[in-house]
Structure formats: C-alpha cells, structure tokens
C-alpha cells in the first residue's frame, strides 16, 4: 500500500481575546490540516501549526512521501530529516535539543501515517499504539483572563464567555467550564497581571472549588526573586506551578525552594533537554505535546523516560481542532503514568473541521473516538470554509503582542514581566 497524494491546507478559525504574558489572542487562530492518501483512497489525517515556517517545512517534506508505505515510520523520519535538515541517520528517530522544526514536521505526518495504519488494519489508533490503559482521558479547565470582544471587528459576533478581568468574573468562567464540561481540575493562565493579583484569583477559585486541583502558568513571566517572594502564598494552593520562569537554569533555582512540583512546556521541549533537566532537578512534571516532541510514539517515549527518571507527565495544548484532540486522546489513553489532567483549549473553539461537529468533553474527559485510526473524518465543506477564512484574515504568523498593542500601545512583553 503506497502513498499517492499529500495535501496540507492552512486554516483560520475564530479565537476569543484570551490574555497571556505575550499579549492577547488575535481574532483568528491558524492551524494546518494534513491529508495523506494511499493508492486505494484511504486518507490519513494530521493537524499542526499554521504559521508560515511550519507550512514551508511541511511543503518541503511532501514530495518525499509519495511512494512510501504508511507503515514505514523510519522511512518517514528519514524523509523529514532530509527535507527539513538534520541528521538523516534512520536510527536517529527523535530530535536532538532545540529541534522543534523537524520534530514538528515529523509529528504532523506521523499522526496521519498512524491514522492510515489504523484504517488499513481496521483498528483504533490506541491499539496501534499498544492498547489503551484507560477508557477516557482527563482534561483540565483552561482559564484565561480575557476581554469581552476583539478590538477590531473580526466580522463575527463576540464569544459568549464575556469579560474575565476580575476574580469574580474568573470564578464565573470556571463555573461554566466545570458545569458544561465536568472538569475536575483547573489551570489558570497567568503572567498577565501582578502575581499577587493572580494569586488572589487562585484564592477565589480555591474557595469556589475546594476539591479541584489548581495550577497557574505565567509562561516564564516571573523572575526568580518574584517567585521566591510569592512562594509562601502559593504553598498548599497548587497541584503544580507551571513555567514561573523562562530558562532551565532559573527553573532549577526555583526548584530549590518550591514546595510543589514545577511543570514545563517551555524549558524542556526536546529529548536533548532531558539530561540537563534531570541534572538540575529543574522540573518534576513535563507537559508533553506530540505536535513538537516528534509525534505520538515520541510522546510515549517521553512518558517512559518520566518513569525512568521520576518526572510526571501532563499534556500541553494550543488553540486546536478535533483532529489534534483525537490524537492527544488516543495517545493519552496508552500512557501508564499520565498522572495529571491534560490541557486543552478546545472549549474555546466554536468551529471544527471534523464530521459531526465537535468531539464531546464529558465528566472532564474524552473517550478516544471509536472506529479505525483516529476515528474522525474530515468535513470537506468545513475545511474549505476555514481555508477561505485563512486566505481572507491576513494573519500568517501568530503575534499576540501586536494584537495587544491595539489596546495598549506601550505594551512590553519583555520577560520577566514581574
Ligand atoms: O501552557 C502553555 O504554555 C500554553 O498553553 C501556551 C499557549 O500559547 C497559551 O499561552 C495561549 O494560548 O495563550
Ligand atoms: Mg504552559
């Protein structure tokens, strides 16, 4: 069974004005949708970033995939490394340190190849990945401070979540997340306001949700000294503290005085970072993300290293569609040491490219879609509509800072902000 066609379609979908350390989300979020077709008409799906660099790299890989067997994942790795650059040694399946471009291209196509393997064998993807260890994968409520609407009219109605700039509004956002989706744990995106204000928001959340584990993620927005100053206030409040500071060395310093585990999706983002992470004991929870760790098998390998070296595994996300949620859920179902509920931006998205609308989050968790492979199919009309939005929206690279300067012309995202 050989691959005869590969299509990569950039899309843009509505995104609310969510705040973070770099600024605010633009009205349109970008992704790319990958279709890998075999001679007999099976189509494997993948999803990745939609920025120009990713699209360029995926475009470079495409021609080399024609004629490959979808079961030849080492062949895929060789093609990706040859096209994007790097060591073409087929033994070097996973990317070294700082190798996000190659690992991301590999991941985008690996998911589509695995989807094909599932379709060709009539097996759900979690079986291709070794079998499921749980029926449902837990996700956490992902709370953002947010504006009520975008600064410029994006040409669509404002989202129905309203403004969240006060503690009380954030508790309301959490209440809706927990009521509608049943989330059993809560993450607050921080780095937006002074840490003391954000910790007060956490206290309000603790009061309203006494049993929900809480996390905060300032995305490297705090200095080591600021983190030291606020640490007594955080003690006993958090399940883990995610990326308070920006570098591995700073995380290592914070780990010497932090009573709770430190988590990251910023300082340990490739296999080559793990030796130094362990040497410094800088991080106790790694947020895996198949999109840039090199795919679903790489995610399993990362989890295995977690068992070897004693760090926990959680999962990171970005604004994404149902193909990514299906892939995250299939792999999440196979990881023995997935000790924490995974991140997902999915509740913030109102559009999707899969048949049947959106996947369902219930009781704070998602079941891997049944059916062969990923278990999701492309809605071609929706894909065409979201591609048209991409062409029309004019955004080609995500820039939260530029967007924030429309509200606050002197906004400075330099970190540490606090
Ligand atoms: O955990 C994280 O760092 C993220 O989810 C990164 C995202 O870019 C988040 O900050 C966002 O969507 O603004
Ligand atoms: Mg993070």
pLDDT of residue 32: 98
- Which ligand approaches the C-alpha of residue 345 most closely? 1
Indicate which residue's Cα is closest to atom 8 of ligand 1. Answer: 318
Paired tokens of 337? 């040491």
- Active-site entry in 25, 316, 330, 345: 316
Pocket probe for ligand 1: among 19, 217, 218, 285, the residue whose CB has the most ligand atoms within 8 Å is 217
Q: Which atom of ligand 1 is nearest to the CA of 18?
A: 13
pLDDT of residue 99: 81
Q: Which atom of ligand 1 is nearest to the CA of 287?
A: 1
Task: Confirm whether 150 is a catalytic residue.
Answer: no
Is residue 35 within 8 A of residue 380, CB to CB? The reply is no
Q: What is the pLDDT of residues 55-105, one digit of tens each?
A: 999 999 999 999 999 999 999 999 998 999 765 554 554 555 668 889 999
The set of protein residues with a Cβ atom below 6 angstroms from ligand 1 is: 18, 20, 189, 217, 219, 265, 316-319, 343
- Gap between the Cα atoms of 119 and 18, Å rounded: 37
Q: How many CB atoms lie within 10 A of CB 196?
A: 12
Backbone angles phi, psi at 31, to 5 degrees: -145, 170
- Gap between the Cα atoms of 414 and 201, Å rounded: 23
- Gap between the Cα atoms of 109 and 296, Å rounded: 11
**115 to each of 28, 296, 315, 342, how far by Cα in Å?**
28, 11, 20, 22
Those residues with Cβ within 8 angstroms of residue 337's Cβ, 6 or more apart along the chain or in another chain: 303, 306, 307, 312, 313
The SS3 call for residue 286 is strand
Q: What does DSSP assign to residue 147?
A: -
- Active-site entry in 189, 212, 273, 291: 189
Distance 141 CA to ligand 2 centre (A): 14
The three-point CA angle 270-275-278 to 5° equals 110
Pocket probe for ligand 1: among 27, 140, 291, 318, the residue whose CB has the most ligand atoms within 8 Å is 318
pLDDT of residue 309: 97
Distance 192 CA to ligand 2 centre (A): 13
pLDDT of residue 100: 85
- Gap between the Cα atoms of 143 and 145, Å rounded: 7
Distance 189 CA to ligand 2 centre (A): 8
Task: Confirm whether 189 is a catalytic residue.
Answer: yes
Indicate which residue's Cα is closest to atom 10 of ligand 1. Answer: 20
- Cα 165 vs. chain centroid, distance in angstroms? 24
Query: For residue 237, with 0-12 CB atoms within 10 Å meaning exposed, 13-18 middle and 19 or more buried, which class applies?
Result: middle
Paired tokens of 162? 């309203």
Q: What's the alpha-carbon Rg for the chain, to the nearest Å?
A: 21
Distance 208 CA to ligand 1 centre (A): 24
Indicate which residue's Cα is closest to atom 1 of ligand 1. Answer: 316
E runs forming strands in 68-185:
137-138, 141-144
Q: Which atom of ligand 1 is nearest to the CA of 266?
A: 3
> What is the DSSP secondary-structure string of 16-33?
--BEETTEE--SEEEEEE
pLDDT of residue 272: 86
* CA proximity to 238, closest of 278, 172, 188, 167: 188
pLDDT of residue 233: 97
Paired tokens of 15? 């995104």
Pocket probe for ligand 1: among 219, 243, 268, 324, the residue whose CB has the most ligand atoms within 8 Å is 219
Q: How many CB atoms lie within 10 A of CB 123?
A: 16
pTM over the 0.90 mark: yes
* CA proximity to 318, closest of 341, 287, 295: 287
Crossing angle for the helix pair 322-334 and 296-309, to the nearest 10 degrees: 40
Bridge-based pairing state of the strands 312-315 and 43-49 = unpaired
- Gap between the Cα atoms of 399 and 127, Å rounded: 38
- Gap between the Cα atoms of 86 and 97, Å rounded: 12
Q: Which atom of ligand 1 is nearest to the CA of 187?
A: 1
Distance 123 CA to ligand 1 centre (A): 33
Q: How many CB atoms lie within 10 A of CB 363?
A: 12
Distance 190 CA to ligand 2 centre (A): 9
List per-block mean pLDDT (blocks of 10 residues) for the chain, which spans 418 residues.
97 98 98 98 98 97 98 95 72 61 95 98 98 98 98 97 98 98 98 98 98 98 98 97 97 98 96 93 98 96 97 98 98 97 98 96 97 97 98 98 98 96
- Gap between the Cα atoms of 203 and 287, Å rounded: 24
Indicate which residue's Cα is closest to atom 7 of ligand 1. Answer: 318
Give the chain's domains with CATH numbers: 3-123+380-392 (3.30.390.10), 137-366 (3.20.20.120)
E runs forming strands in 105-194:
137-138, 141-144, 186-189
Is residue 364 within 8 A of residue 186, CB to CB? The reply is no
């Amino acid at each position: 069974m050989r691959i005869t066609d590969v299509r990569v379609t950039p899309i843009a979908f509505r995104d609310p004005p969510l705040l973070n350390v770099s600024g605010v989300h633009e009205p349109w979020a970008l992704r790319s949708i990958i279709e890998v077709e075999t001679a007999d008409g099976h189509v494997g799906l993948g999803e990745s970033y939609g920025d120009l660099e990713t699209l360029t790299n995926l475009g470079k890989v495409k021609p080399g995939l024609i004629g490959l067997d979808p079961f030849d994942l080492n062949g895929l790795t060789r093609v990706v490394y040859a096209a994007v650059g790097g060591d073409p040694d087929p033994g070097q399946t996973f990317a070294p340190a700082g190798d996000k471009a190659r690992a991301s291209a590999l991941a985008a196509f690996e998911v589509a190849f695995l989807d094909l393997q599932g379709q060709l064998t009539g097996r759900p993807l979690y079986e291709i990945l070794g079998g499921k260890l749980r029926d449902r994968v837990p996700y956490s409520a992902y709370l953002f401070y947010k504006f009520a609407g975008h600064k410029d009219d994006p040409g669509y109605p404002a989202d129905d979540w309203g403004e969240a700039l006060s503690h009380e509004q954030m508790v309301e956002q959490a209440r809706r997340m927990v009521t509608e989706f049943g989330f059993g744990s809560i993450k607050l995106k921080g780095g937006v306001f002074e840490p003391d204000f954000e910790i007060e928001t956490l206290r309000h959340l603790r009061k309203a949700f006494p049993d929900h584990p809480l996390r905060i993620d300032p995305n490297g927005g705090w200095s080591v000294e600021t983190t030291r100053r606020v640490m007594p206030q955080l003690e006993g409040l958090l399940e883990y503290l995610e990326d308070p500071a920006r570098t591995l060395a700073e995380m290592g310093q914070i780990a010497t005085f932090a009573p709770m585990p430190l988590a990251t999706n910023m300082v340990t983002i490739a296999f080559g970072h793990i030796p130094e992470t362990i040497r410094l004991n800088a991080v106790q929870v790694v947020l895996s993300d198949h999109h840039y760790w090199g795919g679903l098998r790489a995610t399993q390998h990362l989890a295995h290293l977690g068992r070897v070296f004693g760090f926990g595994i959680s999962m990171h996300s970005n604004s994404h569609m149902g193909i990514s949620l299906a892939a995250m859920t299939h792999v999440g179902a196979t990881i023995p040491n997935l000790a924490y509920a995974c991140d997902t931006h999915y509740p913030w998205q109102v559009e999707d490219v899969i048949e049947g609308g959106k996947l369902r989050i219930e009781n704070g968790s998602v079941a891997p879609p049944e059916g062969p492979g990923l278990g999701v199919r492309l809605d071609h009309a929706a894909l065409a509509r979201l591609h048209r939005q991409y062409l029309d929206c004019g955004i080609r690279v995500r820039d939260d800072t530029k967007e924030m300067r429309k509200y606050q012309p002197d906004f400075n995202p330099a970190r540490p902000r606090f």
